C-alpha cells in the first residue's frame, strides 16, 4: 500500500469538513514514513492536518503536518471522481463507467466482478440506500431484488410510489466475495465501504433528493459514521451532504420478523418521510400495522 490513496482519502475527508478518522496501524506507518521523507523538503504550505480517532484504549493522536513539496506526484496520481454530462441521467452513467476502473476498489481484491450500480429516477425526491448487492442483485443486475426487494416494492406501493419514482443504490457497488461462495452473502467491510463512498457522495449531489432513506445498520454507519444501531438511529432525521436522512430497517428484517409491532416501526418511518415531503396521507395509510384493540 502506498501513501497516495491514504493522503487522497484524508484530503477528501477534510474537504467534507471531517476532522477525525479511524486509521489502522498500516496506514499510520505509511503516513509516518511519508512524513519523514518529506520533512527535509522546502518549507511549503503544509497539507491539511487530520486527527486520527484511535480506539478507545488509545489517546487521540494528531498526525504530523505533511509538506506539499514532495506530494505533487501523489496528488497527480490520486484518482479523481467527476460526474460529467448535461443531465442527471448522463452524470449517473458517467459515475457508473468510472466504478470499473476506480483504483481504491480494484486494489481491495475482496469484491466480485459484477457491478450493480443503481436504478430508478436520477432526479427523484426519494433516494434509498442499501449496503451492497447480494446473490439476487448480482444475478439480476439491479439493487433490492429477491424476496426483500418484493417486500420493498410493497412498502413503496403503500406510500403511493414505485421503483420508477425513486432512486435506489447501495454503498458498495459489487457483491462482497467469500471463499467457495454460492448463494451466501456477507456484509461489506469498513474498508470496502470507504472505497465506494465517493460514489455515494457524488450520487447524492447529482440526484439532489429531498430525503434519503437508509435501509439497515451497515449503510447507516457508512453515511452517518459511528456505531449506532437502527433502533438508536431511527425516529429522527439526520443529515448527509445537507440532505435529511431517515434510517429504518432493511426489508429483509421484516421477512424474518413478521410481528405487527416491528412492521409498524418501519411504516412509521415511511409516514414521517411522507409527512416531510408533504405527500397526501390517508387515514387508512396512517392506520397500517396498528395493533387492534383486544
For residue 202, pLDDT beyond 90: yes
Could you tell me how far CA 272 lies from the centroid of its own chain?
A: 22
**What is the DSSP track for 77-140?**
HS------SSSHHHHHHHHHHHHTT-HHHHTT--EEEEE--EEE-TT-SEEEEES---HHHHHH
pLDDT at 217 > cutoff 90: yes
Report all structural domains of the chain as residue ranges with CATH numbers, in order of start.
3-77 (no CATH), 88-286 (3.40.470.10)
Under the banding of pLDDT at 50, 70 and 90, the label for residue 186 is very high
- pLDDT, residue 258, reads 81
The residue whose grid cell reads 496520481 is 77
Please compute the mean of the pLDDT values over residues 148-153 and round it to a whole number. 95
Is residue 200 over pLDDT 80? Answer: yes
Is this model's pTM higher than 0.85 or not?
Answer: no
C-alpha distances out from residue 214 to 39, 75, 78, 211, 235, Å = 43, 33, 30, 10, 12
Distance in angstroms (rounded) separating the CA atoms of residues 290 and 294: 12
Instruction: Tell me the three cell numbers of residue 147.
Output: 424476496
Residue 62 falls in which region: left (phi positive, over 0), alpha (psi -120 to 50) or beta: beta
Mapping DSSP to helix (H, G, I), strand (E, B) and coil, where does residue 35 land?
helix
Render pLDDT for 67-104 as a digit per residue (tens, 0 to 9). 444 434 444 455 789 999 999 999 999 999 999 999 99
The confidence score (pLDDT) of residue 60 equals 43
Which residue, 165, 160, 157, is CA-closest to 281? 160
The pLDDT, as a whole number, for residue 245 is 99
- Tens digits of per-residue pLDDT, 129-141? 999 999 999 999 9
User: What is the predicted pLDDT for the residue at 220?
Assistant: 98
Amino acid at each position: 500500500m502506498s501513501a497516495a490513496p491514504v493522503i487522497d482519502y484524508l484530503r477528501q475527508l477534510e474537504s467534507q469538513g471531517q476532522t477525525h478518522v479511524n486509521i489502522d496501524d498500516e496506514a499510520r506507518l505509511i503516513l509516518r514514513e511519508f512524513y519523514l521523507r518529506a520533512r527535509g523538503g522546502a518549507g511549503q504550505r503544509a497539507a491539511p492536518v487530520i486527527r486520527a480517532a484511535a480506539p478507545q484504549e488509545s489517546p487521540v493522536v494528531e498526525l504530523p503536518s505533511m509538506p506539499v513539496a514532495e506530494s505533487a506526484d501523489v496528488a497527480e496520481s490520486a484518482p479523481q471522481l467527476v460526474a460529467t454530462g448535461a443531465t442527471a441521467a448522463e452524470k449517473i452513467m458517467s459515475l457508473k463507467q468510472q466504478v470499473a476502473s476506480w483504483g481504491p476498489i480494484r486494489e481491495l481484491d475482496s469484491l466480485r466482478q459484477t457491478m450493480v450500480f443503481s436504478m430508478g429516477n436520477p432526479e427523484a425526491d426519494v433516494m434509498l440506500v442499501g449496503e451492497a448487492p447480494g446473490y439476487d442483485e448480482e444475478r439480476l443486475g439491479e439493487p433490492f431484488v429477491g424476496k426483500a426487494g418484493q417486500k420493498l416494492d410493497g412498502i413503496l406501493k403503500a406510500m403511493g410510489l414505485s421503483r420508477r419514482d425513486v432512486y435506489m443504490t447501495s454503498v458498495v457497488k459489487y457483491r462482497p466475495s467469500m471463499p467457495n461462495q454460492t448463494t451466501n452473502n456477507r456484509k461489506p467491510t469498513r474498508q470496502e465501504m470507504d472505497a465506494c463512498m465517493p460514489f455515494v457522495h457524488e450520487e447524492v449531489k447529482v440526484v439532489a433528493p429531498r430525503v434519503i432513506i437508509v435501509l439497515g445498520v451497515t449503510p447507516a454507519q457508512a453515511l452517518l459514521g459511528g456505531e449506532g444501531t437502527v433502533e438508536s438511529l431511527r425516529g429522527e432525521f439526520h443529515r448527509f451532504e445537507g440532505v435529511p436522512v431517515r434510517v429504518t430497517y432493511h426489508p429483509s428484517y421484516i421477512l424474518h420478523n413478521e410481528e405487527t409491532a416491528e412492521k409498524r416501526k418501519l411504516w412509521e418511518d415511511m409516514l414521517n418521510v411522507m409527512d416531510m415531503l408533504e405527500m397526501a396521507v390517508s387515514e387508512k395509510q396512517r392506520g397500517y400495522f396498528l395493533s387492534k384493540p383486544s
